Amino acid sequence: MAGPKPTSAVLALVLTALCTLICAALLTAPASAATTVSANWAGYVAAPRASARFSSVSGIWRQPAASCTLGRPSFAAVWVGLGGYGEGVASLEQIGTDANCSADGHADYASWFELLPADPVAVKLRVSPGDLLAASVTMSGRHVTLRIRNLTTGARFSTTRHYAHPDGSTAEWIVEAPSSCSGQGVCTTLPLADFATVPFSIATASVRGHTGGVQDPLWSTAAIELRQGSSDTTGPGASVNAHLAGNVVRATPSAVSRSRSFAVSWSQSSGPGEPASAPSLPGFGGTRR
């Protein structure tokens, strides 16, 4: 038997509830970003539209714990930075932390900053797995201020350096496989350490007085997936992952949430090595030889 017909008031309430659910879903759905592949970077890079330049970048991340294997040195760096992404771009201002595995299976953690093409500079700020780190890079003319704070311990570091050719063409939030560089400037990408997951939060950048998240409408954004395979043995992005024996290591960024958060996750799968043509981007020179 048919029940009573709903009144207009009931229909209005139902439609309002449906609209609330649908609108909430649309508001929380992350925007998509084009994905590129790199031999050493994973995360997000943003580029302002027109001829604007970023004046700052910042982010918070949880320091990862490196999972080490005896006889397999590996390396991972987490950082925020400005510049360095693009054809022929050599300048990059970055600050971050690393999680490295030595050949004896021991994990080491440290903080640093780097103004390419200069060597990285160690920072006297202790970090441990699970610590919450906040870092930023700010440019004013030819002066660059780099800051990092351990929100867990309260320790902090800040320095301002004169930089001949600062680059604000891009902003980055990155997990990287660092490089080993010779005195002649020849660099080799190192094996990426198993860092599990690095969560980023409050990832923002500023341009012309406006501050926005990773996917702000005022700039374009690209997601970068890192891929390393045992066949990556030629070219400037050559890795030293001989122990992979045909496996592929990936570091993959998640979608960015409306709260300006995302995560980069490590994984390994069986399969053919990635093509050696995967670009190796400028970045943290973790070791020198």
36: pLDDT strictly greater than 60: yes
β-bridge pairing 219-229 and 34-38: parallel
pLDDT of amino acid 250: 94
Per residue in 166-185, pLDDT (tens digit) is: 999 999 999 999 988 776 66
Contact 200, 263 (CB under 8 A): yes
Contact 60, 193 (CB under 8 A): no
Cα separation of the two ends of the chain: 85
Domain architecture of the chain: domains with CATH:
31-288 (2.60.120.700)
Phi-psi region of 179 (alpha: psi -120 to 50; beta: other; left: phi over 0): beta
CA angle 233, 238, 241 (to 5 degrees): 70
Q: What pTM value is reported for the model?
A: 0.81
Per residue in 119-138, pLDDT (tens digit) is: 899 999 999 999 999 999 99
Report d(CA 219, CA 47) in Å as an integer. 5
186: pLDDT strictly greater than 80: no
Q: Whose structure tokens read 């600050």?
A: 95
pLDDT of amino acid 171: 97
Report d(CA 11, CA 208) in Å as an integer. 48
212, 213, 215, 221: CA torsion to nearest 10: 90
Q: pLDDT: is 32 or 113 the higher one?
A: 113
Q: E strand or H helix at 10, and its extent?
A: helix 8-28
Tokens of 133: 């780190």
262: pLDDT strictly greater than 60: yes
Report d(CA 91, CA 210) in Å as an integer. 23
Report d(CA 35, CA 22) in Å as an integer. 27
